A = this chain, B = another copy of it.
Amino acid sequence: MTKRMFVKGNEAVCWGALAAQCKCYFGYPITPQNDIPEFMSKELPKRGGVFVQAESEIAAANMLLGAVASGVRAMTSSSSPGISLKQEAISYMAGSELPGVIVNMNRGGPGLGDIGPSQGDYFQATKGGGHGDYRLLVLAPGTVQEAYDLTIEAFNLAFKYRNPVMILGDAILGQMKEPITPKDPVIDDSEVHNWCLDGAQNRPSRIIKSLYLEDGALAAHNLKLAKKYEQMAQEEVRFEEFLTNDAELIVVAYGSIGRIVKTTIRKLRQAGHKVGLLRPISLFPFPKEILLSLAKAGKKFLTIEHNLGQMVEDVQLAICKFATTDFYGHLPGNLPTPNDFEQPILNSLEK
């Protein structure tokens, strides 16, 4: 067995990126993800890679756009206010079909908010904080190992779909340490030379763009993108089920909150309460079908988020005709512990 490493979630993202053969990192400091640029500034150059501290989050996102346009695996990271600044570039990457990887270690908002954990950026990540009809593939790790694994996945998926992928963590995931088992993934980039920019040698020049002015061109382009999102929905749904089989109540929670709720559920199980957890891992595509089948099986639902109610809409949409989900929002600014969720779960169970 490979030796386990004991690392922060932020560092796990970096190790995952290195394993996925990320060659360039562009970033700008912001708490609680500074370990990422700091790690990359030390480790990437050693491995022949490139670290650039950009002048801003906007510049970082656009450096990312440039690097991936040349076919190289690259990444940027930030936290909430910085991610807001990247929205234009993210929309451009989606429109230009560029495989950038973007990490958001969500902090409290709106505005400057605080530097603690929050899930207030769910909508921004999944519904497109930028303009136009596009979707990011959004992965929400709940453990440090998952932060590592999903970062590797993120790169592979970005290149598979030529679409930006977001890792959505939070201040808890970024700052906590857990052991991880490193991997040595096989990276297949054989397709890249078919589209990347590397000088028009012995071939016509290539254009990477998102402008479509000719009659019907933007419509066709939007349809093409929609097909990709459809394919993602078919192939990339990820979630964790925990004690759902005999559960009366399914708690739906993602990321750090998902894992914290797990502890609550274990405790409530010991007290004989039939409660289970559905933890979406891919937030887009959202695990609709499993939720639907749980709804059809007559379960009750409670969505728990570290915000005032965002994913709950996706849960409700998934189970629509068959069930209604309760909602419990842990407020940004307050650190969540398993105790916080006991009563809300019991309340929903009793209804």
Tell whether, in the assembled complex, residue B331 and residue A320 are in contact, meaning their CB atoms are under 8 Å apart. no
- Nearest-neighbour CB distance to chain B for A163, whole angstroms, equals 11
Closest to A81 in B: B88
The size bracket of the interface on A is 35 or more
Collect the chain B residues with CB atoms within 8 Å of residue A116's CB. 218
Cβ–Cβ contact A121 & B110, under 8 A: no
Question: Beyond A91-B109, A113-B95, A320-B320, is A129–B132 a contact (Cβ under 8 Å)?
Answer: no
Contact B308 A222 (CB under 8 A): yes
Chain B residues closer than 8 Å to A81, beta-carbon distance? 88, 91-92, 131
Of A85, A218, A220, A226, which is in contact with the most chain B CB atoms at under 10 Å from its CB?
A: A218
Q: In the complex, A213 Cα to B113 Cα: how many Å?
A: 8
CA distance A286 to B105 in the complex (A): 30
Chain B's closest residue to A132 (CB) is B109
- Bound together, the chains give a CA A124 to CA B226 distance in angstroms of 18
Given known contacts A92-B110, A124-B129, A133-B120, A221 and B320 CB-to-CB distance under 8 angstroms: no
A134 located at the interface, meaning its Cβ lies under 8 Å from any Cβ of chain B in the complex: yes
Task: Determine the distance from Cα of A106 to Cα of B218 in the docked complex, in whole angstroms.
Answer: 15
A21 within 8 A of B: no
Chain B neighbourhood of A308, CB < 8 A: 133, 222, 226
Quick check: is A84 within 8 A (CB to CB) of the other chain?
A: yes
Residue A269 at the chain B interface, CB threshold 8 Å: no
List, in ascending order, chain B residues with CB within 8 A of A225's CB.
110
Stretch at the interface among A40-48, A144-152, A153-161, A204-212: A204-212
**30 A-B residue pairings within 8 Å (CB atoms):** A58-B85, A80-B131, A84-B88, A84-B91, A91-B111, A92-B110, A94-B110, A95-B109, A106-B131, A108-B212, A110-B128, A110-B210, A112-B210, A113-B210, A121-B132, A123-B123, A123-B128, A124-B127, A124-B128, A124-B130, A132-B332, A133-B308, A133-B332, A216-B333, A216-B334, A217-B333, A218-B333, A222-B331, A222-B332, A226-B308
Interface: A10 (CB within 8 A): no
Expressed in whole angstroms, the Cα–Cα distance for A307 and B127 within the complex equals: 13
Q: Smallest Cβ distance from A317 to chain B, in angstroms?
A: 6
Whether A189 sits at the interface, judged by CB under 8 Å, is no
Q: Top 3 nearest A-B pairs by Cβ distance? A: A109-B132, A111-B210, A218-B333
Set of chain B residues within 8 Å of A91, measured between Cβ atoms: 81, 84, 109-111
Tell me how many chains of this kind the complex includes: 2
Distance of A134 Cα from B308 Cα, bound (Å):
9
Q: Is the CB of B88 within 8 A of A85?
A: yes
Is A175 interfacial (CB 8 A cutoff)?
Answer: no
Any B CB within 8 A of the CB of A219: yes
A222 to chain B, nearest CB (A): 5
Confirm or deny: A316 has a beta carbon within 8 angstroms of a beta carbon on chain B: yes
Which residue in chain B gives the minimum CB-CB distance to A333?
Answer: B218
Any B CB within 8 A of the CB of A289: no
Cα-based distance from A324 to B321 in the complex (angstroms): 8
With both chains docked as a complex, state the minimum distance between the C-beta of A125 and any C-beta of chain B, in angstroms.
Answer: 10
- Residue A87 at the B interface, CB < 8 A? yes
